[in-house]
Structure 1
Amino acid sequence: MNGPDPDNKHPMQGFPQVCYISNTVNNPHIIIGDYTYYDDPENSENFERNVLYHFPFIGDKLIIGKFCALARGVKFIMNGANHNMAGFSTYPFQIFGNGWDSTPMDMASLPYKGDTVIGNDVWIGYEALIMPGVKIGNGAIISSRAVVVSDVPAYTIVGGNPAKALRQRFAPEVIAALEELAWWDWPVEKISRNINLITAGDIAVLQTCV
């Protein structure tokens, strides 16, 4: 009753398009929680190819919680994609050298929006795009091909370009109770005993779990 092994890259036997990606990501600036999976028939183990403009000298992190479901083609744009907008031109002359680097690039003026943080139990749909520094709360749902440019509250469904809130999944008091329970942090044995309640919709009963 302890569930699948979180250290197994492909927990569904004979179905390699689903991968627990905490076992395949090598970049120390990408942090993935247990049981979070990426579903991609082309190469589910190579999730890092979807994290774009993630340059080590920038220092930003992509942090994804536990029990998240990431659909094929999900992309994360990191802070390295930003260009300096303080002057008249946004063109990065200095990186091409040959005399164009005589004026140092003003790194301090580059737009920087911090780490991108995805909560726990988040479902991100097909080809959704998450922009730099966005924070997505626990239990949120990002619809297919949404372009997420701002923070998403917990247990909120968003969609569109730019993504807008479509609705909250539950009443505010239920969301507050779920945040307090934080079932994703329970020991796996407790989660396994209570899956039927975690996947149901009765918060009062879930709160009685032992």
Structure 2
Amino acid sequence: MIRAGRLRLTAALVLGIVLFSYSLGFAGVYKLPLRYSLTFNHDIRHADENFYANRLETLLVKKINSSPGKEVSLKVIPFVEVRHNVARRKKERVSAGVELGFNWRDFFYLGEQLRQVWRSEPVYNRGVIKDTDMFEALSIVSLSRQLIPGKDILKGYISGEYTYDFRLGRGTRIEAIAGVLIPLGKEARLNLDWRHRDRIHADDCDTFEASVAYNF
């Protein structure tokens, strides 16, 4: 009961801060760009781990260099995400945190994400559900490129991600990702990717993921 209360309070606080900041734009004080994403993840090896996720984040970008061919920017991205398991029809993971990023020429991205996670997961062969709180760090390295020169209609990328669990004091996941980004009008985009997830000291998995993001 206490954990559930803390979960609701933290999620409500993060969401409240984001929405309050965005509302300042309507008053002409400050415009805070938001992005909403809906993601579907299909696990090829473990059908009971398919999920969909809703994510809300705000994008704070500081351009350091705007010269053509030398663009450099820094990003701060607070976010909250809720993930539901398809087979079990229940909420299995809620995370809230912030991502700090460095972008060079829209080609190279280096990010570090710090997040608090509340996870509800089955303990296999026991028929029970285990609730876990954890604080994680996610390191991201990504390379991207327009696949059709001169046209911003199809971008390919490869990424590597490493997750560290401070509760356990060790890394828990390494992911290799390859995907494409497809613009859907001016403010939306479609992401399609394949992921190999190395669960350190546990089963690996391969997934296909599709997501739609909208900026407003």
TM-score range (shorter-chain normalised) is: under 0.3
Indicate the structure with greater strand content.
2
- TM-score after normalising by structure 2: 0.26
More helix by share: 1
TM-score scaled to structure 1, two decimals?
0.26
Structure with bigger gyration radius: 1
